[in-house]
Each structure stands twice: as structure tokens, then as C-alpha cells.
Amino acid sequence: MNSNEFKDKLTSVAPEVPEHFHNRVEMTLENIVMQEAQKNNTTKQTNKTTGRFSRRTFTIALAVTLFLGAAAFAAATQWHLFDSISFLTGSGTPKNADSVMQSDLYRETVNNVEITVREAGYDGRTLLIQYSYRILDVETPYAVTAGEIFGSNLPDGMSADTVVESVPEEAIEALAAHGIGSWIGSAWIDGRELDMSSGSGSVVMGSTTPGEIIYTNYYRLDHGGVSLNGSVQITLPIGEKQSDEYLSNLYDSETHTYRLPDKGVVTFAYNAGDTASKTEVIRPDRETVLAEGTVCVREAVFSPLMTYITLSLQADPERKLQEDELDIFEDWLFSLELIDGKGNILFPDHYGLNGHSRTAAEFLYPYMDTVPDELYLAPVDENGTADMDRAVLVKPDTL
């Protein structure tokens, strides 16, 4: 699918959005192509992530997510996991990634499929895991490259060997024929079931290695009330697929959870260390009163991998009586950029809004090597001018 085809598809499923946001998406679509990921096994996981966000926000955010993730494969980084989730972490490897990332965590061959847990990392909020299947009796790569799609008419900045499409259906079918693959949408940490809470997801891609399929999972542990410290055992159900009967026997009707399986899983150790010492948390709690209602930054977290900003939203009571409460803040939220005290946009190529509900919104930005003395989320017009009268404080100049 080329960019024009995807723009048509996006238009058919997504409602109208503010002009500022629309223009940014248009510019993105002109330069990169869509990876049609999150099919099959990932569809169930994706559906689980949408509960606390508006359907409209999630639909558009997912589109941008997949575009930016596809483009990232052009970059060569030390930690390859970040190539597939640049929509979260920005392009390249975060400078302090070495402090939380670990590699070569597990490898075994089952039914002539080599299963490898390649990389994992945890920054106090998000657990990242990349694993791969290499079907040993397949001699051709599953990757679809920019060169195959565009020929010599490559978009600016994209190389011919950039992986730009999700893994083809034949790869999933080949994996299933070997009886291997994810057979339940859960994971376990130290034997405790971990469901994919809101904000979690998975990206699946082919590679230039014959028979290889690469999965990158991101789990928002904080949304599920989970925090990691020290050495933990992580179990993924990504080995030999188990029967429905076996799966039903794992279900605990009292706790409504699945017990730790004793087969069909991969278990590896990850040392999270003292994560609290690796993050900086700021709670400015300074309100901004808008026509729509009152907003403030509940928490800003600066981790070795990402920047997390959570807003509280309190709609004006009169407005709530007149219109859909969920839509009151949308135009304002869509227009926000992260800026410093001088009005400079810090991440002009990164769309930060990760989702919102009636009472809260979350923005995700890449890691910041140097955090400015003062930070705001402010509406920015098409000329790059910030409206400070409608800005909300993220980090004050004095703490």
C-alpha cells in the first residue's frame, strides 16, 4: 500500500480532525508508507488497549504510530528494539538506554523454529520486549522493503532496504504450521499474570534474515499498577501452541486470572535494578483555566527511555450540559506541543498525544538528554507560534 492509498483508507475510517493535526499527518504520509501490522495475534491485544481512550483518538494515533514505526527501520542502532517503536521513543536509541536494556536473554529451538528473546528493557513505566521466530526450513526473507514498493522512486531519506510493511500472511501461516506462536494474550512476571493494560501493544515485522519474524511488545505496567524492581522472571506464552482444553484448565474462576503454564512458554530473567533512582518525577499541579474547563499536569516523568506527561481534565459544568463531555477538550489536546520557556517546540516531528478519557490525557515524548528549566504543553498554530494563554505548565523553572 502506498501513501496515497493509505490516505484514502484513513479518510474512510477516521472522522474530521483539527486542521493543525491534519496537516501534520499529511506531511508524514507524503514521505513514508504504512506498515499494516497488528493483524492476527496482535488484533486481540490492540483491542484491549483502547478502553480508556476515545475511539477517534486511538484510530488516528494508531495510524501515525504505524507510519512512524515503519520509517524507523532505516536507522541502524545498537538496540534494535527501538527501530520498531520510534512512534513512542523517537528515532534512534535513547542516550541512556544502556542503563536499562539487556540482550540475548533466551534461545531455544522448538519444532524447527528458533525462538530468541533478543532485547528487553524497563524504565519504571513501560516494559519493552523484542523476540523473534526463525523458521529454519524457510530459505527466503519475509521482509517487504521500500525498494520493492517504490522501485527507484524512493521517498526522501528512505533507503531501498528499509522494511516498510508488516509480515505477510504466509509467514504467520508457516509459523502456525510448525505449531508455534503466541497462544494466549497474557504474560507472567514472577508467576503473576500480566494482562496487556491500556497503552500496551505489539508490532510485528519481517526481516532480511530468511524465515525470521520479529515481535516487539510494549507493556504499560503502570497502567496495571505493576512496578518492577530487582531481578524478575518474565514468562511469555510464545512457544508451542497449547490446546483450548489446556488453556481452560489454567483459568482460575475465583481470581479471574490464568495460572502460570508449565509448557508452551519461554521464561527468562531480567534485572530491573532500582528503577526509582533512574526516573525523575515532577508534580507541578498548577491549574490552567480554559473556556472548556480546568486542566493541570498531574505528573511528569522523565525516564531513561521516554517522557511521560499526565494531565487531569475537569470540564466546565455548563459546557458538560451542552455537549458530549468527551469532546470538550479534543481540539485543545490535538493542538498541543511540548515547548520550553522560550516557546521553542522540543519535538516538532513527534506527535505526543497518546490518548485521553473524560478526566485525563497522556502525552508521550522521547527521552530528553537535558531537561529545560521550564516546560509547557501549549497550543501551536501552523506558523509555529505558541498560545501561552492556553498553555499548561509541565515543569516550573524552580522546583
271-295: per-residue pLDDT in tens?
999 988 889 999 998 999 999 999 9
Mean pLDDT, rounded, for 331-354: 93
pLDDT of residue 334: 93
Helices (H), the chain: 3-13, 19-31, 41-48, 55-71, 86-89, 146-150, 169-177, 244-250, 317-322, 330-334
Residues 111 and 128 grouped into a single domain: yes
Residues 89 and 130 grouped into a single domain: yes
Strands (E), the chain: 101-110, 113-122, 126-135, 186-189, 192-195, 201-206, 212-220, 231-236, 251-252, 257-258, 266-271, 280-282, 288-289, 293-302, 306-315, 336-340, 353-356, 360-366, 375-379, 392-395
Global pTM? 0.78
How far is Cα 119 from Cα 305, in angstroms, rounded to an integer? Answer: 14
Residues 59 and 91 grouped into a single domain: yes
How do 288-289 and 280-282 pair as beta strands? unpaired
Helices (H), 32-152: 41-48, 55-71, 86-89, 146-150
Residues 330 and 369 grouped into a single domain: yes
Final residue of a domain: which of 233, 253, 276?
276
Residues 232 and 308 grouped into a single domain: no
63-86: per-residue pLDDT in tens?
333 444 433 333 334 799 998 898
Residues 58 and 122 grouped into a single domain: yes
Highest mean pLDDT among 40-44, 89-93, 161-165, 291-295: 291-295
pLDDT of residue 21: 41
How far is Cα 126 from Cα 106, in angstroms, rounded to an integer? Answer: 20
How far is Cα 399 from Cα 375, in angstroms, rounded to an integer? Answer: 12
pLDDT of residue 221: 94
Residues 201 and 334 grouped into a single domain: no
Residues 294 and 391 grouped into a single domain: yes
Domain span at 344: 279-395
Residue indicated by cell numbers 495475534: 41
93, 82 in Cβ contact below 8 A?
A: yes
How do 266-271 and 392-395 pair as beta strands? unpaired
Residues 249 and 165 grouped into a single domain: yes
User: What is the CB neighbour count within 10 angstroms for residue 39?
Assistant: 13
